[in-house]
């Protein structure tokens, strides 16, 4: 069974632009979560989607948003990019809402210049 896939793997954007990252969960998994990983702040939870509904949101500004489609694929969007948004953005999927095991994709490395 294929793992979590994320596209693109690398991205360079300019401050003020917006960006959309994509995540395809493991086949059959219905929950998708997003995390930001930086050297300074570590791994931080952004939000989780299940059945196209946002179930939980981390402590990030409104510039960070996401959505989930009926096939469980998810996208996250960051508007008005800031230098501090440079990070590895990770997507994780799990089978059902009440299962604990989360499986991560390889991430999208976003660099904001």
Partner 1 sequence: QQQVKQSPQSLIVQKGGIPIINCAYENTAFDYFPWYQQFPGKGPALLIAIRPDVSEKKEGRFTISFNKSAKQFSLHIMDSQPGDSATYFCAGVYGGATNKLIFGTGTLLAVQP
Q: Does 85 bind partner 1 (CB under 8 A)?
A: no
Q: Which of 25, 48, 49, 68 binds partner 1 (CB under 8 A)?
A: 48
Distances (CA, A) of 81 to 2, 52, 64, 98, 111: 32, 25, 10, 34, 10
CB of residue 12 to partner 1, shortest distance in Å: 17
3-state secondary structure of 84: helix
Q: Which of 55, 69, 77, 82 binds partner 1 (CB under 8 A)?
A: 55
The whole-angstrom separation of Cα 62 and Cα 45 is 14
Q: Smallest Cα–Cα separation from 76: which of 112, 41, 110, 47?
A: 47
Q: Does 102 bind partner 1 (CB under 8 A)?
A: yes
Q: Smallest Cα–Cα separation from 87: which of 107, 103, 106?
A: 107
Q: Does 33 bind partner 1 (CB under 8 A)?
A: yes
Q: Which of 31, 68, 72, 74 binds partner 1 (CB under 8 A)?
A: 31
Nearest to partner 1 of 17, 51 (CB atom): 51
The whole-angstrom separation of Cα 34 and Cα 81 is 17
In the complex, the residues that contact partner 1 under the rule CB under 8 A are 4, 31, 33, 35, 42-45, 48, 50, 55-56, 58, 90, 92, 94, 97-107
């Amino acid at each position: 069974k294929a793992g979590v896939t994320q596209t693109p793997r690398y991205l360079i954007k300019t401050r003020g632009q917006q960006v959309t990252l994509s995540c395809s969960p493991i086949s059959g998994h219905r929950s998708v979560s997003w995390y930001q990983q930086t050297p300074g702040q570590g791994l931080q939870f952004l939000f989780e989607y299940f059945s196209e509904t946002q179930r939980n949101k981390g402590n990030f500004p409104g510039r960070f948003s996401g959505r989930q489609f009926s096939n469980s694929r998810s996208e996250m969007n960051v508007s008005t990019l800031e230098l501090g948004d440079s990070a590895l953005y990770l997507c994780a999927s799990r089978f059902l809402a009440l299962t604990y095991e989360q499986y991560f994709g390889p991430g999208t490395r976003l660099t904001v210049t």
